[in-house]
Structure formats: C-alpha cells, structure tokens
Structure 1
C-alpha cells in the first residue's frame, strides 16, 4: 500500500516534469511583457493539478490542502510564479465547505475540467484594507436578486477568471450586534457582470501579478448565487483565508528553496581571489541560516495543512506558517541577490524577478506585522493593539 510520503513524491516528480516544459526564458518573457502565462496555466489545468481539492465525484482529485500546497510549492520552486493560479485553490475552500449541493453540482465539474475558472476573491477595499468587518460594499436584496454597490481593490486575475467570490455587507453595520455579522458571500459570474454594473481598472505593479480595482454600480446578482446563509459570510470566508495563507506559505517555501539552490550552485562556481566564494563563511552562513529557516517554516506549513484537512481550528498555524515562510524566503532572496553581486540584478539570471515576486509576501495577503498582532492578542493574551 502506498504511503502518504510516496504519494507526495510522485506528485513532486510529475509536477517537476510538467514545470520543466516551461523554462526560465518562458517566465522571464511574460514578466518583461507583463503578460499572463496562459499556456503554463492551461497545462496545469489539463493535468488536473488546479482541481486537486475538488472531490472525485465532481471530476477532481479529492485531495486536501496538504497536496494543494505541494502543487503551489513546486510551481514556485521551478522558477514560475503560482500567483497566476493560486486563487483557484483557496477560493475552492469556501465553495466546497459552504456551497449548496446544487452549487457544487453545477460549478465544480466545470471548474475541474477547466471550462470555468474560479481565480478571484473580492474582499479587500481601499478604505478598510485588512479591517474586513468594516467593508463598505453593500448587497441589498430586491426580489430574487441582490444589488451590489461599492469598491474593491487588489483583486487579482479578473481578466483570467470566470467566477469571483465576493464578500459584501447585507445588513448595515449599525444593525448588527457584532461587526463580523451581516456579511454575506456571493459567487459572481464575471462574464455577465463586467460591463453590466462592474467596472475593472487594472493596477500596474512591481511584479507581474495581475490585479485590479473594481467598481460596483447597481450590479445585480441572482439570490441563488449566495453561498451559505445570509449574514454568515465572515465565518465562511475565514476558511478561504486560512487556506490562502497556508498556500502562500507553501509558495514562499518553494521560493526559498529556489533561491538557496540558485545561490548555492553559484557560490560553488564563482571564483574570486582564486577561490570559490562559497568557501567563505561570510557567504556560507547567511545561506545556511536561510536554509534552516525555510526548513522550519516547512514544518509549520504541514501542521497548518494537517489541521485544515482535519477540519480543526488552524487560524494560528496558518498565520504563523505564512509569517515564517515569508520571512525565510525573503532572507533567502537577500542572500541570493547579494552573493550574485551585479549579476543578481541582471534579468537573464532570474534572481531579480524572483526577488520582486517573493517581496510581495511581506505585505500580502496579510502583512507580517498584523500576524504578529494576531499572535500577541489571540495566542498570548496580550491587550489588543488596534
């Protein structure tokens, strides 16, 4: 009987074989032109990797967050950027755990086959940021439809998604006992919404991460597109956010290993003052430290995955995994660019591209400082600081 580790090893081998078909030049060209790697994402979809968490009865693989995180890790470890497709993994959690039987029967087979893409989540707003319970986008019931008005920002992959998970306020803040109440989740069909109440404005940014501002003006959504019960959306969205943070941790771990492999190989070959630079402890120690920290973050990633897949509370573990992995990948990135010297800034080495990509995760999808505040308050019992 195959063990879990053997299954994971087979997954890694298959993923590495697929990713190797898209060499660094491919991803470098898309970064330079700020274009979307459609062929790469299609290959992942056709091979079933982006349907990893969809149950077999709906055409997926029926795997857990653990396996989904391995997919994300291997994409980044190959030199690619999972930011082009990771939304489908964590958005899936909200639909899988809280969608109706009818919603799952209709959408999941089409998502598994690649006919539909669920790549976007509309939560963040320009005036509230991570203070999610105070979001201002509203969805008011009118007959058999909800009418949405408001604004979102930093919403990714709209141009390459058919569906979006949207969090909006259905009960005014002054009419609820707790500010986390009165929020609801909707599944928005972007093919109908764009141009019919939804306006999309792309945001140019320092990484090739397709992201946008969204403007809602009387956008109508069928009532049957609500996921779960009205007013309970904040609790539902947490499943997606915990999955998101854990998957981002896996991506950072993939980045960390990429940087360490890259700089280790370079330090062995680069000769300065008649000796390889990797012979110097001033070079060795930062690389070794980065490796130790990536390995430690990896363990927390697996603990967060284990708890998520067991339907246990995993908020603390998901947050800590994201913090540790983001810090470890950034440490590895700094060592990699430093010891490449001027070549680290040359696009042909791909270090500067990956350096920019992994820097994002000090800020998104939740800043490392806010994670520390979470740990201080919710785990250590210190007074709330904000």
Structure 2
C-alpha cells in the first residue's frame, strides 16, 4: 500500500527498494541476527542504485531529492522486514557538511558520499557521563597550530566500523568560559583513513546493531576538518536532527505496517477451535487498533516532511512524528507477538527479531521523554522540566 502523499518519484523509489529487498528475504536478516553481523551485501546492493545519495544535491552527484522522498526509502526497507538503521545515517548525516561545511569539504566529500565510495554513517556525540545532556560533553579539541588535538570518550557511536568518515562534536572552549552552555562546542569531520589514536570497543546489545564505545587519545586532526565556525557545532547538530527524526519516524511506520500485515495474515490463516483466530475480537481488535495508530502517525510524518522540505520550522512536528510513529510501531509489535502466541517467540517467524528492533525507537535516537519535554516547554510554554 502506498500513501496518498506518494508522487511518481516516491512510487519509483518504493518499487526500487522492493526489488532490492526481494533479494534479501527474512532468512538473510535472520542469519545476520544470529551472527550479529552487518548487512554488507544488502548495503552494497542498495548503494549501487544511488538512492543513498538522495539528499545530496545534483551538483555534487546526488539525486537532489527532498526529505519526504528519502523517508520512503527507509520506510520501505523496514516494510520489507529489513533494518534501515544500517544505512539511514548515510542519507542525513552529511547535512551538517552540506549546510555548514566549507566549499572544499563539500567538493571533496559530498560526491563520494553520494556515490557510496565514502560512507559517512558515524556521528560521535553522546558520552557516558553527559548522556542526553549534550552541552556537558567532556571530549575536548585543543587548537595546535594547523591542527586540533582531540581527547575524550564517546559512546553509542553507531556504524563506525563501516564508515570511512565520521562527525565528532567536541568542546573547544571550556564550559565555565562560555556565556551559554550550548556555546563553545565545535563539529569536526574526521577522515578515519588518515588519523591515528582512536580506539573502538564494540558494544553488544539486544538488537543486531553495530554500535561502539570510542576513545580519542591525542588524535591530531587538521584544522580543515572543522565544520563551519569554531564554537557553533551545537547549532549545526540541531540542524541535522529534524531530518533524522522524520526518517526514523518513517522507519517506524515501515515496521508498524510490517507487523500489521504479518498479524492480519496469521490471524486469518491460523485455525484454532475450528475457526480462524482473527474471527475473535480479542485477536482482531488489537491489530485493527494498531493499524489505525500507524496510519495516524504516518500523517504527522508527512506533515513534518512537508514543512521541512518547504524550508519552514518543523522541530515540534518532527519530534511528534517520531514519538507517534515509535509508539504506533511498538503497539503493532506487541499485537503481532500476542497474535502469534508461542510462535511469536520463535526466530523462524521473525516477529521476535522485529519486536526487539521496534523497542529501540522508544529510546533512540531520542527518548520519548525528551520529546515530551520539548513539546511541554517549547510548544505549550510550560516550565522547563530538565
């Protein structure tokens, strides 16, 4: 099913992703999950189509499409039972470079990011102590002639082992020396092929998702790695968060529709006590309610995308889209597991794998509590909660 917001381009994108995903069925993702392996073949196949350069302007070799178009790509991956988390950062992480990078950075890196020759999938922001309070990060970049010396520690840096480039947020002015705590943070584009001093420690999680703890020990990076102006990195990071929220919401919509379709089919085919279990309202109604909530969340996804693509403020809408879609997909996941009963716990049905993946979106890339705090303070004008 496609939505009424689909254009010809979006319909073509859906068809293209469907064709790629047809070569990577449930068994492929199931085996990767067993091995905790990265979907290298899938990523290569998708990269070869050029769609991961969707948001890179045509002048730099990309497709020059809009966020709404790109959201269809990740939605359809998850709609087919895959996991777009392996590739979604390649779509939006480069936006900081596109919007705030130097001409030299854009010319040097964007064409290769668009083609997939270089992968920019890693973003080092979160730290063990600071957590979601980004302004309290301790990683520090000290200017030393034509270089910066980077020292610190990051956590939850995803896809680093499968990236040639990485963005890192670091303090360049001590917190006690800035007028506002969001000042004095700078963004750096690191070419991982050219630097030394980074130690990567993989973190095993309940889902098959490559993420890492990263240590920076006297990492010397050229001053040309600085994105935009020194001290303005926090603002640049915020700029990239709205498209991230919108794309992740689309992934949740894809998951939600996958769960609803699997549940509906199973409830229709599974016969117990001489009748399809879907004939029982206790089974049918939770699936129907989940479907309603997924479709309603999808409307907010498209509202946020339309605002962003029109160049309008969309922070509230992007956050609401992410929260609604994450909640809807999680509701659909629970309905699917309950519908399948014991078989929902069996790996061969793939429900338990997708169930674990859907749970992640309640806490990442932004927790539901932080979204509620944002809406409470910035939309409803209530006192700041934290």
Q: TM-score w.r.t. structure 1 length?
A: 0.97
Cα displacement (A) at 1:311: 2.3
Corresponding residue for residue 224 of structure 2: 224
Cα displacement (A) at 1:83: 0.8
Corresponding residue for residue 152 of structure 2: 150
- Where structure 1 has 5 or more consecutive residues not aligned to the other structure, the ranges are none
Cα displacement (A) at 1:4: 6.1
Task: Please tell me whether the aligned partners of residues 9 and 69 of structure 2 are also in contact (alpha carbons under 8 angstroms).
Answer: no
Q: Deviations over 1:247-301 (max 9, x none)?
A: 1111111000000000000000000111101111111111111111111111111
Corresponding residue for residue 84 of structure 2: 82
Corresponding residue for residue 16 of structure 1: 18
Corresponding residue for residue 317 of structure 1: 317
Q: Deviations over 1:18-72 (max 9, x none)?
A: 1111111111111110111111000111101111111111111000111111111
Corresponding residue for residue 263 of structure 1: 263
Corresponding residue for residue 47 of structure 2: 45
Corresponding residue for residue 108 of structure 2: 106
Q: Secondary structure at the match of 1:185?
A: strand
Q: Is 2:39 the counterpart of 1:5? A: no
Corresponding residue for residue 138 of structure 1: 140
Structure 1 residues 252 and 205, CA gap change in structure 2 (3 angstroms):
same
Cα displacement (A) at 1:228: 0.7
Distance in 1 between the 2:6 and 2:96 partners?
Answer: 25
Further displaced range: 106-115 or 248-257: 106-115
Task: Please tell me whether the aligned partners of residues 118 and 163 of structure 2 are also in contact (alpha carbons under 8 angstroms).
Answer: yes
Distance in 1 between the 2:101 and 2:305 partners?
Answer: 21
Cα displacement (A) at 1:318: 1.1
Count of matched residue positions in the alignment of Structure 1 and Structure 2: 382
Cα displacement (A) at 1:310: 2.1
Q: Secondary structure at the match of 1:191?
A: coil
Distance in 2 between the 1:345 and 1:236 partners?
Answer: 42
Q: Secondary structure at the match of 1:312?
A: coil
Corresponding residue for residue 202 of structure 1: 202
Corresponding residue for residue 162 of structure 2: 160
Q: Deviations over 1:200-243 (max 9, x none)?
A: 00001100000000101111111111111111111111122222
Distance in 2 between the 1:47 and 1:348 partners?
Answer: 30
Q: Secondary structure at the match of 1:43?
A: helix
Cα displacement (A) at 1:94: 1.0
Corresponding residue for residue 253 of structure 2: 253
- Moved segments of 4+, more than 4 Å: none
- Where structure 2 has 5 or more consecutive residues not aligned to the other structure, the ranges are none
Q: Deviations over 1:88-139 (max 9, x none)?
A: 1120211111111211111011112221000000000000111011111111
Distance in 2 between the 1:125 and 1:199 partners?
Answer: 15
Q: Is 2:374 the counterpart of 1:356? A: no
Distance in 2 between the 1:90 and 1:62 partners?
Answer: 13
